[in-house]
Chains A and B, each alone.
Chain A
Amino acid sequence: AQKITQTQPGMFVQEKEAVTLDCTYDTSDPSYGLFWYKQPSSGEMIFLIYQGSYDQQNATEGRYSLNFQKARKSANLVISASQLGDSAMYFCAMREGGSARQLTFGSGTQLTVLP
């Protein structure tokens, strides 16, 4: 079974609008972390936001917020006021257990911001 599922291969959003990128996960470990990374066409992986399994509040970082619904095992990324520079591939990832563990990535969502 897939541990991280991103069901939207591609998304389009109008500039200045908000967009939600979906992510669901599967784990039996009570301690885990959820991450979102942005990968522009140049290839580098840019860390956006983190949500811990024990965090009571949804994480926010500037225009990025994470809609964490633990019971549903979902961790959707919300980008507010989209900008043309937000066009990129977005990956949801999970780290289970201890901190020195690898990340498991979803299949990604290609976001295109339209002018």
Chain B
Amino acid sequence: GAVVSQHPSWVICKSGTSVKIECRSLDFQATTMFWYRQFPKQSLMLMATSNEGSKATYEQGVEKDKFLINHASLTLSTLTVTSAHPEDSSFYICSAGGGHDSNQPQHFGDGTRLSIL
């Protein structure tokens, strides 16, 4: 079964709306979670690394004020797309895991399809 839960699966909303996406680790604690963005027929691009109890680390070119990340507990990270516009429409997907063993895979949520009208 799924070890990382992501909600909602899809969102359609008007331009200017803020949208919150949740990523939960279901049966393990994750001090670090990752947020990726994927455009159609393209690869996953890391947006930011979410760290429990501290500020997220954003990749170059990602607007911190546009994509707010909160990692309030060891099982929950949230991504809020603030004042969303059509160009923010994309597939957002989170991951967690890996543990202390480098051979453990990251587990991904099922992703969120965001459409801004």
Contact = CB atoms under 8 A, between A and B. Distances in A.
Nearest to A49: B105
Contact of A100 (B32, B45, B91): B32
Interface in A63-98: 91, 95, 98
Contacts of A99: 98-102, 104
Contacts of B93: 43, 45
A12 B85 CA distance: 37
Contacts of B43: 91, 105-108
A95 B102 contact: yes
B54 interface: no
Q: Interface residues of A: mostly helix, strand, loop or mixed?
A: loop
Contacts of A95: 98, 102, 106
Contact of A45 (B98, B101, B103, B108): B108
Chain A interface extent, by class: 20 to 34
B88 interface: no
Given A91-B44, A99-B104, A44 B110 contact: yes
B77 interface: no
A104 B95 CA distance: 13
B103 A44 contact: no
Contacts of A106: 43
A31 to B, nearest CB: 7
Contacts of B7: none
Given A43-B91, A91-B43, A103 B106 contact: yes
Interface of B: 31-32, 34, 41-46, 49, 91, 93, 95, 98-111, 113
Q: Which 9 A-B pairs have the closest CB atoms?
A: A45-B108, A47-B105, A99-B102, A43-B111, A99-B98, A44-B110, A105-B43, A105-B44, A100-B32
17 contacts: A43-B93, A44-B108, A45-B44, A50-B103, A95-B106, A99-B98, A99-B104, A100-B31, A100-B32, A101-B98, A103-B34, A103-B106, A105-B43, A107-B42, A107-B43, A108-B42, A108-B43
